[in-house]
Chains A and B, each alone.
Chain A
Amino acid sequence: MIIEVKEFKGLATNADPSDIGLEFSRVNENFRLDTPGTLTKQKGRGGNTDIASTRLTQLQYWSPSNLTTANAVIPSIWVGFDDVNNKIKKVDSDFTNPKDLGTAIADVSSVDLNDHGQDFRISPDNLTHSTKILQHISRKFFEGDDTLDEYVVQDATPSYPSTAELDFQLLTAVSLGANTGLTLADNTYNYKLNPIFDGSQELPLQSTFRTVNTGDANKCNKISIRFPNQSGSGTAPNKTYAFNPRITSVKIYRETGNDDNYYQVGEVPINTSNDTDNIVVKNKHVYEGPSHLFSNTFIDSYSSLSSNTGVFSMPDVTTTIPYNNLRVSWYVLMVDSNGVLDSFQGPGQSPVIYGGTTAIDGTNSSGNTWTFNASDGPLNSSAFLALLQKGIVAVQTQPSNPDYNFNQTCKIHRVYFGERSSNNLPQFTGETPASNASFEVFNTVWHDKALIYDMPDADRFGINGANGYIAVDASNGQKVVLESVGKALRVDNVSAYADGQLVSVYKDYVLARDNTHTVAHFYDIGYTNSFLAPFLGTDATVDTRYKYSQMIGDMHFVGNVKLDPNGNSEDHPDFVMFSEPGQPDIIPTTNFIRILDQQGGFINGLNRILNNLVVFMTRGVFRLDVSSGDPSLFTLLEVNTSVGCVASQSIVNAKDNLFFCSKDNMYQIRPDFTFIAISKPIEDVYQGVSTIASSKVMYDVKRDRLICRFGNDALNIYCYDLLTQDWTKMVFNDGSVEQADFFTANDDLDLYSVRVYDPNPSP
């Protein structure tokens, strides 16, 4: 008779011999069962790479999900912990170049390593130390003047910058004049600054503020914020910076009339490159009014204006009476103070835009008919046409009593003047409008406080579209824009500007920089109140230390905590706390949930199944449903009252199943929250381990298995195949090769063993 062993199955050291039959193995060392029906003796390990002077007990691969400032991929690294030297370590992806991350953290036996994509958090299991954050900060500051592109490590919870890092330098009331719509009511205003970290994280407001009283209703307030130019000393990732490079912007809060409410009125980003929306006009030639004039019509109707039969042409003219001379000029007729357009018969309060500097006289060809030389006319002036095409014309003759206009509908007029005798000054001929051609022009600006920018046509402002923007002169002085249209702005004074200077206009704020500092100037032009400052009127602190953490959505859950470590410190080993949405390091003391396990114990790990936070206590497992995202709707349920987690480093999430080591067995929590004791087949082995709390488990994705170091046994490593649900064992007994303390994998899913040993032990 032939008895066929049809299929080789996994290890069952604890099974009843009468049940075991052909199905299971009593010994399985170094054979894999991942190909059904076969036993495959797996290859051993490759050559060693020794990381000098480190005694790593944890190591996790991290590929930052952001890019460098040059949009290149950031090289991946390993982040680990050395529990003998008490150092958090950074190692290059090829296991070279180990570096300390920060200083030693004494009396720490393990850390919680958490990959958050763009940053990486390391939480020591001794709460005398704060959680660290490792980031590759790829950031330009101050419109690209400073650049940072390196790993940075610091405490995860942000701290307020010192005055040297961020200085509320000045608060002044700036007079803009009446009826600008850009001023604040006459009142007392208090301002506070609050730095924003990592683009979204914000601390409660500090108590310090600056105050200003406007004194009338014609002022806006100017806030000047000074930073040192960014630089660093030391070696990354442990550099000391001129200011915390996690700061990405500064929010400006305003209190009106000492009413105890601080509302956000603005935000000044500092992590900016040259393409920021704030730069409206950058280093463009400026033309001053009233020596220049602007109209959108010059641009939009340029082809008509420049036509040989258009308003700038010079056809023959037959006058009704004889003249000694006939002269032609072009005016842009302005609207007077009564709202009436100046007449072409009496254009004396409007500017001459051609024929004013050099007289254009006609030739009496026959009778009263006059002919003009085309070469004298504007259509023959390339300079005139080039500027006209940009919407700008130079004013050749300014009237002594001008009718200044800003954004008015005006009229270009060709005007003839006749000279009756040699001592008679030219006077308007009184000819019919047909021969004195005109062209209506819109959005016309001719003003002694106007600045006209030689900017692209497509970037033109709408009517009042740039009001409140900030025009900067060549000496970095600033003027608030009071009116705007097309390429023209009106400010209260243009004396600091000159034609042809390269100057800029900014939308929200202006940066001024010297060799040591950069100052951001922000103008509160009567902004309406936005959001209230966070935590206003509460005693909440946000400095929370924690041993374990888990992100779900935009909320960061942490467990086993110390509140307010630098104030009224409280330890709560059974608290789960959660961050403000989108602010993983802002964990206010008010955001807590006490996990009250009747059996006692403390939180020994956090993880998630779908949108459920799974809280591993030492004597129970809890499920916190946070799918609503609303803390008031979070629901807590103890899903297993008799099984708890005793080894925090045994908690593994594989395909939304959780695995962990309990005192009696290793358990699987399925997505429906049923518990399965997966170590039953080897229960005698498992329960024979005296140091099960030291167990470490990792998920080998490539082979779909858990690799379990139970207790401190580095010789016999148990593997649980998630597909076949079988146990096998790896035995490292080659005396020439070190055993394996723990395992880790990189992004290519290559699996590595790590062993700490002394290559030159004392004899």
Chain B
Amino acid sequence: MAFVSQVREMHNSSSSETVKGRYQTGIIDISGKYDKANIVRRINLHYDSASVITCKAFADGELTGTALFTITFPANNSSGSKIVSRRPTAGGRAKAITILLETATDNNVAVIRKMEIEIDG
């Protein structure tokens, strides 16, 4: 066995290492002023990414498992609008959700500046 100590510079601009970015919000109350289960109409994301960003929602305290809905935000690093709005193609009602944002597993940089959740009510 010929062990070596491998050294790599962190956050290198010409990195070849692929990493996946995952960010899951806390539990967001979407019950509105009437405290009822609501439908998510749209997710608006202000971002900059060379790869797609997947957005998953989990309902009512769930953090994993079956997503309430999944939205794929396209790669968006052109000079155009950085704000992309997408409607869930499937879904259901929930009083509270968490949103999980996942980047591709690659060596690209992604920046997410703002997220909005449009709901009924």
Contacts and interface: CB of A to CB of B under 8 A. Distances in A.
A95 B8 CA distance: 10
Interface residues of A, number: 70
Contacts of A49: 6-8
B112 A758 contact: no
Interface stretch (B28-36, B68-76, B87-95): B28-36
Interface in B52-100: 61, 63, 98-100
Given A26-B98, A41-B109, A2 B10 contact: no
A95 to B, nearest CB: 5
B17 A39 contact: no
Given A1-B118, A21-B26, A56-B5, A47 B111 contact: no
Given A21-B29, A84-B3, A757-B6, A28 B19 contact: no
A731 B17 CA distance: 11
A44 B5 CA distance: 18
Contacts of B30: 3
A25 B9 contact: no
A45 B12 contact: yes
Contacts of A23: 26
A95 B108 CA distance: 27
Interface size class of B (residues with CB under 8 A): 35 or more
B111 A758 contact: no
Contact of B17 (A25, A27, A45, A51): A45
A2 B118 contact: yes
Given A24-B26, A25-B23, A753 B8 contact: yes
A731 B4 CA distance: 22
Interface string A693-733: 00000000000000000000000000000000000001111
Contacts of A24: 26
A30 B5 contact: no
B9 A751 contact: yes
Interface in A69-121: 82, 84, 95
Contacts of B18: 44, 734
Contact of B23 (A27, A731, A755): A27
A25 B108 CA distance: 22
Most buried by A among B14, B16, B99: B16
Interface in A1-30: 1-6, 8-9, 12, 15, 17, 20-30
Contact of A29 (B7, B21, B120): B21
A30 B22 contact: yes
Nearest to B30: A3
B37 interface: no
Given A84-B3, A738-B6, A45 B11 contact: yes
A750 B9 contact: yes
B64 to A, nearest CB: 9
A3 B117 contact: yes
A657 B29 CA distance: 37
A7 to B, nearest CB: 9
A22 B115 CA distance: 11
B19 A42 contact: yes
B20 to A, nearest CB: 6
A754 B6 CA distance: 6
Contact of A48 (B8, B101, B107): B8
Contact of B25 (A22, A37, A737, A755): A22
A759 interface: yes
A1 B121 contact: yes
B20 A733 contact: yes
Given A40-B109, A41-B19, A44-B15, A50 B25 contact: no
Contacts of B12: 43-47
B121 to A, nearest CB: 6
A52 interface: yes
Contacts of A39: 21, 23, 101, 110-112
A218 to B, nearest CB: 70
Most buried by A among B7, B14, B98: B7
Given A95-B7, A737-B8, A731 B16 contact: no
Most buried by A among B8, B15, B113, B114: B8
13 contacts: A3-B118, A4-B117, A5-B116, A25-B24, A38-B112, A41-B49, A41-B109, A47-B12, A49-B8, A53-B2, A743-B10, A753-B7, A756-B5
Interface of A: 1-6, 8-9, 12, 15, 17, 20-31, 37-56, 59, 82, 84, 95, 730-734, 736-738, 740, 743, 750-762
List 4 tightest A-B contacts by C-beta distance, closest first: A44-B17, A46-B12, A20-B26, A41-B21
Given A26-B63, A43-B12, A738-B6, 12 more contacts: A21-B28, A31-B112, A43-B19, A46-B17, A47-B8, A49-B6, A51-B4, A52-B2, A53-B3, A55-B3, A751-B10, A759-B2
